[in-house]
Amino acid sequence: MPTVTWARVDPARRAAVIAAAEAEFGAHGYSRGSLNVIARRAGVAKGSLFQYFADKRDLYAFIADVASQRVRSHMEGRIRELDPSRPFFEFLPDLLDDWVAYFADHPRERALHAAASFEVDADARISVRAVVHRHYLDVLRPLVHEARTRGDLRADCDVDALLSLMLMIFPHLALAPYVRGMDPVLGLDEPSPEQPALAVRRLVAVLKAAFAVPNFPAAPQAAHQI
């Protein structure tokens, strides 16, 4: 995370560093991203970056945090509008639809998400995913626990397993409709306009079958005897 020097930097310069780092890491990821390019685009000396951050990986994790906060802020607003008190497996498809739409409309965040997902440097990948997953879980864990308290989930529901699956589904749907080759199975390789929503409902149906309280059919009424 940033040093104390970063907090004293002029806001316009901070914004320039963030914009330059987002563009470079979004285009090239951590491994191929260049601090020289970031410094040049931001209009600062390369040495200044090391006054602001411990190292390149620290800057990368910070940029992931900044982008994740933007995504999180938007989605928390949408969660309130979508009414999370509804039955969980009715609410979840609408939330995922908005999630897919957000990344369609925000290519910068999509590029950074892809860079984090496909990063080949193990240490950098672990650092940035720790940041991103914290934001995911801060939002998703309360929704799942409220669903369990409300009785939407089975009494023996493995909440951790549900959260783990959601940690796979959300990042996948942020990218698969826009990155060819990620999901040829659910029709997301070259999706039609309606295909992402169909894929969302197929995935949610699987979660519902595994974790929701079963809807047992009503017992047939006995025929009246004459």
> Which residues have a Cβ under 8 Å from the Cβ of 156 and sit 6 or more positions away?
none
Q: Give me the count of residues in the chain.
A: 226
59-211 CATH choice from 1.10.357, 1.10.8, 2.30.30, 1.20.950: 1.10.357
Cα distances (Å, whole numbers) of residue 13 to 19, 42, 82: 10, 7, 37
Query: What pLDDT is recorded for position 99?
Result: 97
Domain boundaries, the chain: 59-211
Dist CA 28 CA 115 (whole Å): 7
* pLDDT tens-digit profile, the chain (226 residues): 889 999 999 999 999 999 999 999 999 999 999 999 999 999 999 999 999 999 999 999 999 999 999 999 999 999 999 999 999 999 999 999 999 999 999 999 999 999 988 888 898 889 899 999 999 999 999 999 999 999 999 999 999 999 999 999 999 999 999 998 999 999 998 889 999 999 999 999 999 999 999 874 444 554 444 3
The model carries a pTM of 0.88
